[in-house]
A = this chain, B = another copy of it.
Amino acid sequence: MPEGNVVVVGAGVVGLTTAFTLASEGFDVSVIDPFPGRGASFVAAGMIAPLTEAVHGEESLTELCAQGAALWPSFAKRLSEYSELDCGLEQTGTLVVAADNNDREILRSRIPTPALGTLGATWATAAEVRALEPLLASSVRGGFLATSDFQVDNRRLLASLMRALSNLQVSVVQSKVLSILSDNNQVKGVVTEDGVHHASHVVLCPGYDVARIEGLPTADRPVIRPVKGQILRLFQHDPLLRLRRTVRAMIAGSSIYLVPRESGQFVIGATVEEQGTSRVPTGGAILALLRDACLTVPSVAEAELLETGTGLRPATIDNAPIIGPSLLGGLIYAVGHYRHGVLLGPITAQSIAEIVRTGEVPVSIAPFQPGRFQRNG
């Protein structure tokens, strides 16, 4: 077993994935979170979408997402070996469609044709996309199949991670971390509401309110804000009305996705709202999600609404995560994953493990170092 021990603060998908990776490499790990397996990760749809979530001007993030997605199949396999639970990885691709001619233009400008070509996809006609998914509305104006973009069942993933940690004897402590203990610019542990946990390394991934933790260096204290996302979970009773794969639509300039699970459940998401820490499911958001979903796939009207959900995604100024060592020795950040927590879980975990093991920052996460906003400001 390597020397020292690691405390991971936060048991969302990033924290749990990191703890699992460290523990499976032989590190002495514990995880602290007041509500393990909840938070934004529990509300997420579970998409692993390096292509369809790509945005112009965020090329280094897109590159990280592509590398992160590539790790997923082997990560899911390794996880299931430790947990003996399947996390619902589905690699049937994502069908991206445009609701009308205007949306087709928007979509074509957002997803550059070269990017499509690289991934072996080509623009398809309305008839072609409806052949792939007959449940699409007849008004749909073409699209493409993104075989690079797939999904995992976020709740099965969280359960699988928790089980794997349990099997690896990792303790998950239900408490809230209040401050970082340090001495002579070196981390010594954390103080929780219930006591002190000593550690040689502390990995911070507690979600949007990371900056409330005391004892962080001013020079790299993360600047993160909550971005509200509302999502719906429904159940399609009739097997003939179930989607074959994830569908994303550009509709009146907005983006919506429908993510089917094997069980007949499916997720419709997600709003992007700057509403501070409000967790209220609102009439307007539910209306917009149902409207756009029904316009894309009319049979959603027959599905049973099971659940409304609200997540507060941790977002940075440049939409990219903060992954890397703090100026305070032994403290490592893994925060601000925004819309990419599930997708970037394995690559973040792998990077953190390398930092803990060697002290070196892997090349892939070099653009995402803590303190980059302060240095630019």
Contact = CB atoms under 8 A, between A and B. Distances in A.
A283 B293 contact: yes
Interface stretch (A84-92, A169-177, A301-309, A349-357): A301-309
Nearest to A234: B283
A285 B308 CA distance: 15
A286 B283 CA distance: 10
Contacts of A304: 280-283
B286 A305 contact: yes
A287 B304 CA distance: 12
Interface in A277-320: 280-287, 290-291, 293-294, 300-305, 308
Interface residues of A, number: 22
A contact patch SS: helix
A110 interface: no
A212 interface: no
Nearest to A293: B283
A78 interface: no
Nearest to A297: B283
A234 B237 CA distance: 26
Contacts of A232: 283
Interface in A232-248: 232, 234, 237
Nearest to A300: B283
A284 to B, nearest CB: 3
Nearest to A279: B304
Given A305-B308, A308-B305, A286 B290 contact: yes
B291 A305 contact: no
A28 to B, nearest CB: 44
Nearest to A290: B287
Given A305-B308, A308-B305, A283 B287 contact: no
Contact of A286 (B280, B285, B286): B286
Nearest to A303: B283
Interface of A: 232, 234, 237, 280-287, 290-291, 293-294, 300-305, 308
5 contacts: A283-B290, A283-B303, A284-B300, A287-B301, A291-B291
